[in-house]
A and B are shown apart, each in its own frame.
Chain A
Amino acid sequence: MEALFASAVGAMTAAGVYLLLQARTFPVVVGISFLSYAVNLFLFATGRLVNGAPPVIDAGAAVYADPLPQALVLTAIVISFAMTAILVVLALRGFLESGDDQVAAGRLGSDGKGEGP
């Protein structure tokens, strides 16, 4: 299970970083999502991987699953979901304002104000 888990985290991180380095906004958004999945799995693993163990005190249990990382992951999922929504809206709005979906700094003038406000 450990090998499967670790390679899943690794593969998703690699995919996320690769997509994050693209020049267009959509791959960047997908890359951020991949990275946050990888980090969520990673956080889950910080409580150690155990199978079928109870999270709350049980007289007959010898091993416990740590419930805290699950609470942390839940919070992280909510936050990254909201952030992805903001990012999508921002990318869309940027596309509508400028007519392209490039991530690059764009036509910033020497005064740094570009052609924007």
Chain B
Amino acid sequence: MNHWIVAPVLLPAVLGALIVLIARFDPVLQRRLSVLGCSLGLLLALCLFMTVLRQPALAYRLGDWPAPFGIVLVLDPLAAMMLLLSAILGLAVAGYAAGREDENGPHFHALLQFQLMGLNGAFLTGDLFNLFVFFEILLIASYGLMLHGGGEARFRNGFHYVVINLVGALVFLIGAGLIYGVTGTLNLADLALKAPLVESGDAALFRLGGICLLIVFGLKAALVPFHFWLPGTYRSTSFTSAAMFAILTKVGAYAIIRASTLVFGFGGGAAAHLFTPYLLPAALLTSGLGLLALPGARSLGTLAAFAMLGSSGTLFVGLATDESAGLAASLYYLVHSTLAGAAFYLLADRLVDRSGGRFGPQGDRILPRLAEGQGRATAAAFMLLAVMIAGLPPFSGFLGKIFILQAVLGAALAPALQGLVLAVVLLGSFFAMAGFTRAGVLLFWQPAPATDEPPPRQSVGGVWAIGGLMAALLALTVAAGPSLAFFERTANLLLAPEAYVSAVLGQHVQAPPAEEP
């Protein structure tokens, strides 16, 4: 067994505890440990990514308990890709927060490490119940990050965020309980084999469990009608935390991909393609709603939050085709939208007025004065990111949308439906462009009116974090061919998960039942 598979979970867990225990009163040491840990995590994620280029799936059995009974971690191309994405994001956010957001409270870096632990665990786990546990870990950390810095609006919206996610966790437990009650297993690979064998009398319960899971994952991914929490949460938290949250909606997308391909796709049976009919309407509504709101955004936080909502919807359009090409296109768009959303949040953080406390009188409102004193590089970065997020040529946002639309046109959908998808995605791009153009013109081109108010005080630096994320986006654009080939291989492996199932169950399929610890 390759023991490195468990390292992306262990490293942040140990580091987070270390930061709390030994560096509690030493912010400099905290930063160093955090950035060092995130760099190691990135290296680790790269190594694991290299591994899956050669092998389709690797299983790690904790304590070497045989697979359907013990706890198992699985590294497959999708998991490796998500690990790499969370490591890139973690490093950028940890580096950016140093000397800025982490001065507003004592535990930013510890929370960030626990967040990474939850994320990596959720991506690696091969077990439905451990998915729940890692969801809770990443959510507890995200509550801390969301509230970091404090303030009334943050506590109010934080309460909503926590309550909604607690109810989501309970629905998750009901779904997992129903699935366990019907199949007698929670191991995803075992479920892939057992799902087609569900008797017709139990099929309704099994499908109900699946729909419970879809509701929870849809809630995490902010799909309409479970999107209400996202704008309030994202615009009231600090932009540094929000940059890390760019991957939280993608955890929902990841879980939907995992469940729909492994449990509710593979092998047919009563619950095959359970999610498919719901995904396309939800995706179109989410995308339309999010992007339609962009031209009306009056603050950078609102602009970024609704752009995030729109990208989450666009991502699901490809998934809804239920075909390999659509899945590959969605994975490409997933990587792009996570990086672009995070980069935009970090850039927006540089523009926020900090005079007189954490949020000065200008706040993050889109007014000419906000960008006063910012160099041309900021304006150029804003424009580049706007082009990327709106999906204009020649960057990865455009390529991602083209791949998704190609997949939709090539899929077995009614022509009217294809037209509707085309219209929503293209009009969405138009509205996004309008919103970002309006913000950019107001911020950078309007002369600031002369007033007696003190000029906004902004944080400087953090260039390499934003630049690094943008460089990753450019790399995704330049290497679109090889990366799409990787995503296509990933999608094919997801849709035919024999390698995943045999890696997990393997030679232990016939093993005698062992006791659950």
Residues of A within 8 A of B (CB): 20, 25, 28, 32, 35-36, 39, 42-43, 45-48, 56, 67-69, 71-72, 75-76, 79-80, 82-83, 86-87, 90-91, 93-94, 97-98, 103, 105-106, 108, 110-117
Contact = CB atoms under 8 A, between A and B. Distances in A.
26 contacts: A20-B163, A32-B166, A35-B167, A36-B170, A39-B174, A45-B177, A72-B177, A86-B162, A87-B163, A93-B155, A94-B155, A94-B158, A94-B159, A97-B152, A97-B155, A105-B157, A106-B156, A111-B363, A112-B231, A112-B232, A112-B298, A112-B299, A114-B152, A114-B153, A115-B153, A117-B236
B167 A116 contact: no
B302 A111 contact: yes
Interface in B418-442: none
A68 B174 CA distance: 15
B159 A91 contact: yes
Main secondary structure of the interface of A (DSSP, over half): helix
Contacts of B181: 45-48
Given A90-B159, A93-B155, A116-B153, A39 B147 contact: no
A25 B178 CA distance: 30
A45 B205 CA distance: 14
A98 B149 contact: no
A50 to B, nearest CB: 14
Nearest to A68: B516
Contacts of A47: 180-181
Given A39-B173, A75-B129, A117-B153, A103 B178 contact: no
Given A46-B181, A90-B162, A116 B151 contact: yes
A20 B160 CA distance: 11
B154 interface: yes
Given A94-B155, A97-B152, A112 B235 contact: yes
B105 to A, nearest CB: 12
B254 to A, nearest CB: 21
B65 interface: no
A101 B148 CA distance: 21
Interface in B210-266: 231-232, 235-236
B365 interface: yes
| Range for the number of chain B residues in contact with chain A | 35 or more
A90 B155 CA distance: 7
Contact of A112 (B167, B180, B236): B236
User: Which of A82, A90, A105 counts the most chain B CB atoms within 10 A?
Assistant: A90
A108 B180 contact: no
Contact of B177 (A32, A46, A90): A46
Closest 3 CB pairs of A and B: A116-B153, A117-B151, A46-B181
A42 B176 CA distance: 11
A79 B118 CA distance: 14
Contacts of B180: 46-47, 68-69, 72
B89 interface: no
B153 A106 contact: yes
A70 B474 CA distance: 50
Contact of B163 (A28, A48, A111, A114): A28
A82 B365 CA distance: 37
